[in-house]
A and B are shown apart, each in its own frame.
Chain A
């Protein structure tokens, strides 16, 4: 089946620094990838849609200048959390959509901001 990877799997950073998270589709091309955030014991909340070669579209309430998304190739999307603060600590999960419009989720990245 289709595999999506994320790197890193977990990261700890200091408040005020920026963190980049990668999402890769390993065996298929994805023109569309999605970024979700999941707080402890809560559901996944869609943050933004990442489109290859164009600007990402963000859901209401998500700051585009804080969560920078770059989808430079058909197999890679990156999410950069800029000037991270403790309230940004969360589990960030990406998904990639294949040519049949099926979404496959990555294993997630645990971000802790101290």
Chain B
């Protein structure tokens, strides 16, 4: 399967600060997905990216599909306490193939201090 390298592993920030995390892959992806997982829950899709160079926003969240198709980043602006959780990037397990079987990055644990 494809390897996704996600960084940073964890972040401790103050409420109101902006956050940035990224993911890189060892091969080309045709889809990048960003999920958030709260403790004891399943992941929830935040943003889906389907085109190289695509920049998509969802409220205070912005994600971009890298031009090389091997990376993506997620930004959170003006963080609030409920942003706390683990953020995962994900992409097709087989790289440029089917969208359906997903491989996940190792996650970024975000802690927001009020």
Contacts and interface: CB of A to CB of B under 8 A. Distances in A.
B88 interface: yes
Contact of A43 (B45, B93, B101, B104): B104
A105 B44 contact: yes
A101 B99 contact: yes
A107 B106 CA distance: 19
Given A34-B102, A105-B42, 8 more contacts: A43-B105, A43-B107, A44-B102, A44-B104, A46-B103, A49-B100, A91-B40, A97-B100
Contacts of A110: 40
Contacts, number: 48
Interface of A: 4, 6, 32, 34, 42-46, 49, 59, 91, 93, 95, 97, 101-108, 110
A44 B45 CA distance: 14
Contacts of A46: 93, 101-103
Nearest to B44: A105
Q: Is the interface of A mostly helix, strand, loop or mixed?
A: strand
A102 B42 CA distance: 15
A101 B102 contact: no
A32 B105 CA distance: 22
A42 B86 CA distance: 10
Nearest to B38: A107
A69 to B, nearest CB: 15
Contact of B42 (A42, A45, A59, A108): A108
Which 6 pairs across A and B sit closest by C-beta, in order of nearness? Answer: A105-B42, A43-B104, A44-B104, A43-B106, A108-B42, A93-B42
A108 B40 contact: yes
B57 to A, nearest CB: 19
B43 interface: yes
Contacts of A59: 1
Interface string B87-110: 010000100000111111111000
Contacts of A32: 100
Contacts of B102: 34, 44, 46, 103
A75 to B, nearest CB: 17
